[in-house]
């Protein structure tokens, strides 16, 4: 069961944050530290310090802080021209936090040519808990009533930490990302953390930057003096209305 979020949990987040090492002192291509659990307080502390968990089910939890770090600034986002044409002709219906559990479970399905997935049952449960607390969020792409693409991540302060995406139809994950960028830009988000550079993200405007630069940007996005605001839960389910270019509460 997920704990209630309040001052006691905020104190726990601060305590866990002090227990993580300085990511700037760690390796850039190997875990900086290992161990611990996936409690919501520890996860939120990790993201606020520049770490994310990535490990296999038969391993201890590894905490990574890659150097360089891949970031997408909302102002730099761009759809490949072919994708833009396809999505303009055949748009998907987009929603925010309408089907988080279905999105993360779809992201956990092994990709073609893979035997397993890093997104194990413990991690799925942990992120579902964070969603219930108002910190993990999803964007969904729909074709009629079918969920055909989506993504999820963590939103703290003015930073969004992307975790995974999936598509069951071509361009559906790109549509979900475009929707996320649209919504985050309207809400003052400074960047989307893509963790590691991939050709897929680089084509859409993401950049690999030195870890030191990322940590400075992270500090600006989650200022210590504003941590009580940065760790404010967001609970809303929205749908994108393309004709008016607005996000509205789902009825």
- C-alpha span between 93 and 242 (Å, rounded): 9
Q: What is the pLDDT of residue 116?
A: 59
Dump pLDDT digits (tens) for 70-123: 999 999 999 999 999 999 999 999 999 999 999 999 999 987 666 657 899 999
Q: Residue 119's CB: how many other CB atoms inside 10 A? A: 19
pLDDT at 251: 64
Contact at 8 Å (CB) between 204 and 162?
A: no
Nearest-Å Rg of the Cα atoms of the chain is: 17
How do residues 123-151 score in pLDDT, each as one tens digit?
Answer: 999 999 999 999 999 999 999 999 999 99
**Cβ contacts of 103 within 8 Å, gap of 6 or more:** 138, 139, 140, 147, 150, 151, 152, 166
What element of type H or E holds 40?
Answer: helix 40-49
Mean pLDDT value of segment 158-178 = 97
The predicted pLDDT at position 120 comes to 94
The proportion of the chain whose per-residue pLDDT surpasses 70, expressed as a percent, equals 92
pLDDT bucket at 1, cuts 50 / 70 / 90: very low
DSSP code at position 22: -
The CA angle 209-154-12, to the nearest 5 degrees, is: 105
Report the pLDDT value the prediction gives residue 2, as an integer from 0 to 100: 57
* Residues sharing a CB contact under 8 Å with residue 176, sequence separation 6 or more, in sequence order: 92, 94, 139, 140, 141, 149, 150, 151, 165
């Amino acid at each position: 069961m997920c704990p209630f979020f309040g001052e006691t949990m905020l104190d726990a987040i601060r305590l866990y944050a002090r227990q993580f090492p300085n990511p700037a002192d760690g390796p850039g291509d190997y875990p900086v530290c290992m161990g611990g659990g996936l409690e919501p307080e520890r996860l939120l502390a990790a993201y606020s310090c520049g770490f994310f968990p990535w490990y296999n089910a038969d391993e201890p939890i590894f905490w990574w802080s890659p150097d360089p770090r891949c970031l997408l600034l909302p102002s730099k986002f761009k759809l490949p021209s072919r994708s833009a044409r396809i999505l303009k002709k055949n748009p998907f219906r987009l929603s925010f936090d309408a089907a988080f559990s279905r999105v993360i479970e779809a992201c956990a399905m092994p990709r073609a040519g893979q035997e397993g997935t890093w997104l194990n049952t413990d991690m799925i449960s942990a992120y579902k808990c964070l969603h219930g607390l108002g910190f993990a969020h999803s964007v969904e792409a729909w074709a009629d009533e079918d969920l055909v693409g989506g993504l999820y991540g963590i939103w703290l302060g003015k930073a969004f930490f992307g975790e995974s995406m999936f598509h069951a139809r071509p361009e559906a994950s790109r549509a979900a990302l475009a929707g996320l960028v649209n919504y985050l830009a309207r809400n003052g988000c400074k960047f989307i953390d893509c963790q590691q550079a991939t050709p897929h993200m680089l084509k859409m405007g993401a950049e690999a930057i030195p870890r030191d630069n990322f940590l400075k940007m992270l500090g600006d996005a989650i200022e210590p003096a504003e941590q009580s605001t940065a760790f404010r839960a967001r609970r809303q389910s929205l749908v994108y209305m393309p004709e008016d270019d607005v996000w509205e509460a789902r009825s």
